[in-house]
Chain A
């Protein structure tokens, strides 16, 4: 099989690409989590202005196509006098988008904690920050785990956009192999190579999706309200 031979021959390049994909996903996950916790928490506070600002952020970054956000960062940064390399530009774009989705999940998680918990915390004289730190967040954590695992799968899929601004992640690595073979060997292995790329993403993401469903079933007990739904690729 021509494809398998090419894959074996170019394994180092594919692994470099896969590493960049996973690194990009990891950075995005971390920054998205920070944005998500801050904005998701703000969205559950009482002052309307704070809530509106958080909702505005979430709405904007979920409505703009991710490809436009990433291109805006990549081409817009030099205009502000601070050009960005492809990797950080992609990571920032992905994180702004991921943070919006993370915030929705965190907000849903906090809201899923039963109201009595918050009231009990107040009755015991806990301050607001203590209520969140000791009572609401720990219980919300449990509720958000399934949705969060699903978000990670979406983030991994979205890192493929890095290929368009020049990050040598997994999709780009596949593209490079095809280009090289076309130029040097005179063959076009696009069908086989892109099949391999698709199947690799499928393997990684379907494991995460399966894990997310499992968590959803196992953790679905003992909550008043429904936990935040798994983010659907078609809803973000």
Chain B
């Protein structure tokens, strides 16, 4: 078992490409899942008939099934009934659906934390439910819910590694391919461990710093 630095250097361009794909897929899914979270939580909050229970069922379903099976369902199941998406977008869709469910809960938690008086004030001023959400509820909910929303986003980056299971050439995909072809597991595994630790630790530290800043007005002076 020897660590071949030369081999590793030669693989760096491919790994870099993989890292870029990881970042691309994760960022797209992150933005889309934020949108899913805001929309889903609003629908839940407004207690719309049919739609609210549907959102609740979606959240429960995603939380209680393995993300890998969700991914396989989208990748193998949908084409079988004639719905075909590209590999990359299948991956983005899977990550979005997964993270979206948790974002709905995060935003809902934020909405629940809004002081009841504000809601009453909004209705006393004649704001409609949609106006309340847009002007009062969601801006406050995003602020209180942001740390947990960002934690979900960090998990999403981690879970983008699952995309290698359907053949997306993101960071893990590239590394696992090299292991299978060149039998140089040691170097590739080291890259993955260091790579993901670096990304996740950096992001978590950023989330903690932001959390600290956001909670500053609420800390005792």
Chain A interface residues toward B at CB < 8 A: 59-60, 63-65, 67-68, 71-72, 75-76, 78-80, 153, 157-158, 160-161, 163-164, 171, 175, 178, 188-191, 194-195, 197-198, 201-202, 205-206, 209, 232-236
Chain B residue numbers with a CB within 8 Å of A209 are 63-64
A79-B1 in contact given A188-B80, A194-B69, A234-B151 (Cβ < 8 Å): yes
Residue of A nearest to B78 (CB): A191
List of A residues within 8 angstroms of B65 by Cβ: 157, 198, 201-202, 205
Is B159's CB within 8 Å of the partner chain A? yes
Residue of A nearest to B101 (CB): A234
Q: List chain B residues, Cβ under 8 A from A65.
A: 158-159, 161-162, 172, 196
How many angstroms between the C-alpha atoms of A197 and B172 in the bound complex?
25
Q: Is B164 an interface position by the 8 A CB rule?
A: yes
B60 A68 Cβ-Cβ under 8 A: no
Known contacts A160-B68, A234-B151, A235-B155: does B189 contact A76 (CB below 8 Å)? yes
The interface residues of chain B lying within 8 Å CB-to-CB of A72 are 189, 192-193
Q: Which of A59, A161, A206 contacts B64 (CB 8 A)?
A: A206
Check B52 for interface membership: any CB of A closer than 8 A. no
**A193: min CB distance to chain B, Å:** 8
Interface of A is mostly: helix
Whether the Cβ atoms of A68 and B69 lie closer than 8 Å is no
Nearest residue in A to B99 (C-beta to C-beta)? A234
Contacts of B66 in A (CB 8 A): 157-158, 160, 171, 201
Chain A contacts of B172 at CB under 8 A? 65, 67-68, 71
Q: A209 to B59: give the CA distance in the assembly, Å.
A: 13
Distance, CA A197 to CA B76, complexed state (A): 13
Question: Interface centre among A75, A76, A78, A233, by most B CB within 10 Å?
Answer: A233
- Interface 9-mer from B120-128, B138-146, B197-205: B197-205
> B residues 158-190 with Cβ under 8 Å of A?
158-159, 161-162, 164-165, 172, 176, 179, 185-186, 189
Question: How many B residues, CB 8 Å from partner?
Answer: 44
Q: State whether A178 and B64 are in contact (beta carbons under 8 Å apart), knowing that A71-B189, A76-B186, A160-B69 are contacts in the complex.
A: no
A232 touches B186 (CB 8 A): no
How many Å lie between the Cα of A7 and that of B34 in the bound state? 37
Map CB proximity to A onto B48-62 as digits: 1 under 8 Å, 0 otherwise.
000000000000110
A12 to B70 alpha-carbon distance, docked (Å): 24
Interface centre among B61, B64, B193 (most CB of A within 10 A): B64
**Contact yes or no, B186 A79, CB < 8 A:** yes
B107 → chain A, closest Cβ, in Å?
Answer: 13
Instruction: List B residues 100-137 near A (Cβ within 8 Å).
Output: 102
With an 8 A cutoff between CB atoms, is B89 at the interface? no
Closest to B165 in A: A164
Contact B76 A190 (CB under 8 A): yes
Q: Report which residue of A153, A157, A171 has the largest number of chain B beta carbons within 10 angstroms of its beta carbon.
A: A157
Q: Is the CB of B185 within 8 A of A75?
A: yes
Q: Is B220 an interface residue (CB 8 A)?
A: no
Q: Are A202 and B81 in contact (CB under 8 A)?
A: no
**Inter-chain contact B196/A63, CB cutoff 8 Å:** yes
By a CB distance below 8 angstroms, the chain B residues around A64 are 158, 192-193, 196-197, 200
Among B61, B76, B79, B102, the most chain A Cβ lie within 10 Å of the Cβ of: B76
Known contacts A67-B161, A194-B73, A234-B102, then 12 further A-B pairs from the complex at CB < 8 Å, ordered by chain A residue: A65-B161, A65-B162, A67-B162, A68-B196, A71-B192, A72-B189, A79-B186, A188-B80, A194-B76, A197-B73, A234-B99, A234-B152
